[in-house]
Amino acid sequence: MVTVETLVALLVLVFLLPVLLVGAAAGYVVARLFGLPSQLRVYGSALGVGRWTAALPTTVALAVVFGVEFAAGIPGEGEPGATLASGATAGLFVGAFALSVGLGNLLRYLRVRTVTDAMDATDGRVTVSGTAEPGPEGTVEAPLSGEPCLAWAVRVREHHGIGRRGIRGLARTDHGGVPFEVRDGTGSVRVDPESLELGGWSVPPRSGDHRVEARDGLPDCVAAYRDDLELGDGDRRVYEERRLTATSPVTATGRVGTEDGVATVGAPGALYDERATAIQQSRKRRVLVGAAGALVMAGSTVLLAAVVGLV
C-alpha cells in the first residue's frame, strides 16, 4: 500500500527534477567559464579515464545519495548518525573516482595482457612488444625539438576561460612519425605511427619530454609549428613533445593490415615507449584500484542505508 509519505516524496522528486537539471546545466556553464573540462582532460589522459568511464560511477553515487535522501532523509549536522552519513557519502564519491580509474584501464589492460608473436601476426587485433628499429624510410624530425625519431606526440596546453590559475588545460594534441619495425626474439613487424598515437603522458610531464613555455620565447621550430597550425599567440601556453627513438623499448597494440604488401600494425590501437610487461603491471594496478573502488561504493551504500534505517 502506497503511503502518504511516499506520495509526498515522489511529488517532491518530480518538482525537484527540473531544478536539478537547471543546476547541472548552470554548473556545466560555470565549469566551461573556468576551463575545468580542458584541465580534467589532462588528468584523464594521464590516468586513462575517459568521459563515459568517469560519468558512470559518479552518476551511480549521485543516484544513491539522492535516492536515500528522498527515501528516508540523510541526518543533518548535529543529528544522530550525521558523522557516519557524511563519511559514507564521501566514501561513495572516493569509490566512484577509483572505479572510474579501473574501468578506464580495464580494456587497455586486456589489450596488452597477451603479447602476440610478431612473426605470427595475422589479420585481427594484436599486441607486439620489443625494440624499435628504423625501417626503409629511416627517421623523421620531431616538430618541436627537431630531433630525429620514429614516432612523436605533441600536446599544447594553456589556460582556458576566465580562470588563469591551476593546471593548464589541453588545447591541442597531435602525433605522427614514420613506419618502423618492432623486433622481438622471433622476428619483426612493421608499425604505422601515423595511425597509432604515442601515449604515456603524465602529470607532471616525464623528465625526458621536450617542454617549451611560450613566455620564455619560442625556438624557430616551435614557432613554425604554431604558425603552420594557426594557433595564434599565447604567452601562457606550453608546448610539450614525446619521442620514440631507435633502439627504444616499444609496445604497439592495433589491428594488422597490409600496406604495400607488408603486414603493418595500425589503428585502432596505441603506441607506448615501454615493454608490454611494464604496461601490464601499471594497468593491472589501476584495475585493482577500480575493484577496490567498487567495494568501497558498495560498503558506503550499505552504511548510508543503515544510518537512515533502510536496512
Q: What percent of the chain has pLDDT over 90?
A: 8
pLDDT in tens, 129-184: 888 989 888 899 999 988 999 999 998 888 766 656 666 777 788 899 999 988 87
* 65 and 136 together in one domain: no
Q: Grid coordinates 593491472 are at which residue?
A: 284
Task: Give the total number of structural domains in the chain.
Answer: 2
Comparing 24-33, 65-74, 108-117, 142-151, which segment has the lowest mean pLDDT? 24-33
Same domain? 8 vs 142? no
Is residue 136 domain-shared with residue 98, that is, in the same domain? Answer: no
One domain for residues 298 and 263: no
Quote the pLDDT of residue 118. 43
Residue 117 lies in a domain: no
Question: Is the predicted pLDDT of residue 97 greater than 50, yes or no?
Answer: yes
Does one domain contain both 50 and 146?
no
- Say how far residue 84 (Cα) sits from the centre of its chain: 32
- Res. 87: pLDDT tops 60: yes
Average pLDDT, the chain: 77
Give the cell for residue 113. 595482457
102 and 238 fall within a common domain: no
How confident is the model at residue 119, as a pLDDT? 42
Is residue 268 assigned to a domain?
Answer: yes
- For residues 91 and 292, is the Cβ–Cβ distance under 8 A? no
Question: Cα–Cα distance between 275 and 129 in angstroms, integer?
Answer: 6
Residue 240 lies in a domain: yes
pLDDT band for position 19 (cuts 50, 70, 90): low
Domain identity same for 166 and 246: yes
Question: What pLDDT was estimated at residue 148?
Answer: 92
CA atoms within 13 A on the CB side of 28: 6
Are 246 and 299 in a shared domain? no
Output the pLDDT for position 171: 78
Residues 264 and 293 in one domain: no
- Indicate if 170 and 221 belong to the same structural domain: yes
Q: Are residues 243 and 187 in the same domain?
A: yes
Q: Is residue 185 domain-resident?
A: yes
pLDDT at residue 123 is higher than 60: no
- The pTM score is 0.72
Q: Which of 50-54, 63-67, 140-144, 235-239 has the highest mean pLDDT?
A: 140-144
User: Domain range for residue 167?
Assistant: 126-275
- 121 occurs within a structural domain: no
Predicted confidence (pLDDT) at residue 128 exceeds the cutoff of 70: yes
Q: Is position 239 within any domain?
A: yes
Whether 116 is covered by a domain: the verdict is no
pLDDT for residue 38: 61
Q: Is residue 120 part of a domain?
A: no
The reply to whether 148 and 269 lie within a common domain is yes
